[in-house]
Amino acid sequence: MQIAHFADTHLGRTIYGLTWTFDEILDHFEEAINTALKEHVDIIVFSGDMFDNWRPPNRVIKRTIEVLSKAADKNIKIYATLGEHDTPKRRDIPIHSLIPQIKLLGTNINTLRDCFVINYTEYCFAGVMNIRLTYGGRAKKKLLEFIGRALSGTSGKKTVLILHQNISNFFALEPGLEINELPRSPIYIAMGHLHRRIVYRRDGQIIAYPGSLDILSMDEIDIYKNEGKGFYIVDISKDEPVIEKVDIPVISMEKISSELKDLEYDVKKILLRLPKNKNSILIVELNLNADEKTKADIMVDRLRKIIPKNVHLRIKPIYKDLHIDYKTSVADVSQLEIDVIAERLGGERYRKLAEKIKMLKELALAEDWEAVYEQLDEIVKEPYWTRIIHFNPINLPDIKVFHGRDVDKKMEETEGMINKSKKRDILSYFRG
Ligand SMILES: [Mn+2]
């Protein structure tokens, strides 16, 4: 029983607005599926973010159907689950349900798993769609319950669990599941979301991310150089899975760092390494002082005229004298968001409220509505809301007489002013 495990194919993505990257991502996808077919896999799994967008262009849908029908014609089962990119953003059906070859798992109670028998062995493929997690939110509990339900009734069967989530042991800068929270019973956990290859083994179980299929951003250039890009072929016939990586060609993308004085030399040197007969992206991180900007523009213009047409040159200026740290960590970015909200609210003294508002946003994105209402209750307690109007109490003298009556006098003493029976009703109303 051989599985081709794909994740994060992001079909329909365009890099830096270049149409050829859109086409190449689809070409590489087709090549990968063809390779899997040549290896005679029985099952193809897509662990989320198959599409870059929940409403991909029609030609992406058409091409996907054409490619996958070759697999379906060979009776290969194709399973997918949703990632955060291809989950419908409004009340709508997922794009996957328009592609007849795909069995979408883990979007509702009726599609949590598919079980079948081959050669007297019972196999189950269970999946759960991406659920956005927050630090300290309750979305994780919901996700773990969802996983538990997907796996119910699979004990004693060879089970593959398909998820699209971060695992915080592998990437700490985003909320995620922890390895010890993942169930032990599946023989293979087919992960998606992290765009790099990770294989983790414990007691005969393998948990693996195949990574993205192509270089989808500048940050993935180094990852590609270290570990390649492609998919996994996983054999689950034995007691323990056997996993192999299959490499697939990627978009040609290079990144260099240069100084203004070396720019032309460095670019010409790297051009020798770029393919002659296909398109490439060359990113140059150019270190310069802010007052050299015009000089740099002139040099870059000249450079563009001499480099081949199939090389797309992108210059990323890095101003040495402005001391901007481009390696700002994700934690700092989330602080920045709080800074901005606090500033809009009126300054640093509203920081606590800004933190609460940011959390509200995360909970709403995670669709944890119960937690959203709790967070709203927390937010309305903040003194900010009562201080929108500048605190300016009206000074009143003690009122002794109101509408001609002495307010210090007890009600009984004024009862003659009110009709007796009516008075009793009113008083019993207030006392009751
Ligand atoms: Mn993802």
Please report whether residue 219 resides in a domain.
yes
Q: pLDDT at position 363, please?
A: 84
189: tokens are: 């956990």
Please give the distance, rounded to the nearest whole angstrom, from the Cα atom of residue 48 to the centre of ligand 1.
7
Provide the domain limits for residue 280.
Answer: 263-321
Same domain for 223 and 179, yes or no, is yes
Please give the distance, rounded to the nearest whole angstrom, from the Cα atom of residue 165 to the centre of ligand 1.
7
Please give the distance, rounded to the nearest whole angstrom, from the Cα atom of residue 84 to the centre of ligand 1.
5
Q: pLDDT at position 319, please?
A: 87
Q: What is the pLDDT of residues 338-352, one digit of tens each?
A: 888 988 888 888 888
Please give the distance, rounded to the nearest whole angstrom, from the Cα atom of residue 90 to the centre of ligand 1.
18
Same domain for 304 and 388, yes or no, is no
Please give the distance, rounded to the nearest whole angstrom, from the Cα atom of residue 274 to the centre of ligand 1.
30
Same domain for 134 and 228, yes or no, is yes
Please give the distance, rounded to the nearest whole angstrom, from the Cα atom of residue 70 to the centre of ligand 1.
26
Please give the distance, rounded to the nearest whole angstrom, from the Cα atom of residue 177 to the centre of ligand 1.
14
Task: Give 385's pLDDT tier (boundaries 50, 70, 90).
Answer: confident
Lowest mean pLDDT among 97-101, 200-204, 311-315, 372-376: 372-376
Range 110-132 average pLDDT: 95
Please give the distance, rounded to the nearest whole angstrom, from the Cα atom of residue 209 to the centre of ligand 1.
11
Q: How would DSSP label each residue in 64-82?
A: HHHHHHHHHHTT-EEEEE-
Same domain for 311 and 358, yes or no, is no
Same domain for 47 and 159, yes or no, is yes
Same domain for 367 and 241, yes or no, is no
Lowest mean pLDDT among 168-172, 259-263, 426-430: 426-430
Please give the distance, rounded to the nearest whole angstrom, from the Cα atom of residue 10 to the centre of ligand 1.
9
Same domain for 241 and 281, yes or no, is no
Question: 409: helix, coil or strand?
Answer: coil
| Terminal Cα-to-Cα distance of the chain (whole angstroms) | 75
Please give the distance, rounded to the nearest whole angstrom, from the Cα atom of residue 130 to the centre of ligand 1.
8
* Number of domains making up the chain: 3
Rounded Cα distance between 257 and 119, Å, is: 56
Q: What is the pLDDT of residues 214-239, one digit of tens each?
A: 999 999 999 999 999 999 999 999 99
Same domain for 133 and 209, yes or no, is yes
Percent of the chain with pLDDT over 70: 87
Mean pLDDT of the chain: 89
pLDDT at 143 exceeding the cut of 90: yes
Please give the distance, rounded to the nearest whole angstrom, from the Cα atom of residue 154 to the centre of ligand 1.
26
C-alpha R_g of the chain: 31
pLDDT at 414 exceeding the cut of 60: no
Check residue 117 and give left, alpha or beta (phi > 0: left; psi -120 to 50: alpha).
Answer: beta
pLDDT at 162 exceeding the cut of 60: yes
Q: pLDDT at position 432, please?
A: 47
Please give the distance, rounded to the nearest whole angstrom, from the Cα atom of residue 193 to the centre of ligand 1.
4
Please give the distance, rounded to the nearest whole angstrom, from the Cα atom of residue 136 to the centre of ligand 1.
20
Please give the distance, rounded to the nearest whole angstrom, from the Cα atom of residue 320 to the centre of ligand 1.
34
Same domain for 74 and 189, yes or no, is yes
Please give the distance, rounded to the nearest whole angstrom, from the Cα atom of residue 133 to the centre of ligand 1.
12
Same domain for 298 and 377, yes or no, is no
Please report whether residue 24 resides in a domain.
yes
Top-confidence residue, 308 or 368? 308
pLDDT at 72 exceeding the cut of 80: yes
Please give the distance, rounded to the nearest whole angstrom, from the Cα atom of residue 196 to the centre of ligand 1.
11
Please give the distance, rounded to the nearest whole angstrom, from the Cα atom of residue 208 to the centre of ligand 1.
15
pLDDT at 426 exceeding the cut of 70: no
Q: What is the pLDDT of residues 32-68, one digit of tens each?
A: 999 999 999 999 999 999 999 999 999 999 999 999 9
Q: What is the pLDDT of residues 306-329, one digit of tens each?
A: 999 999 999 999 888 776 555 555
Same domain for 97 and 132, yes or no, is yes
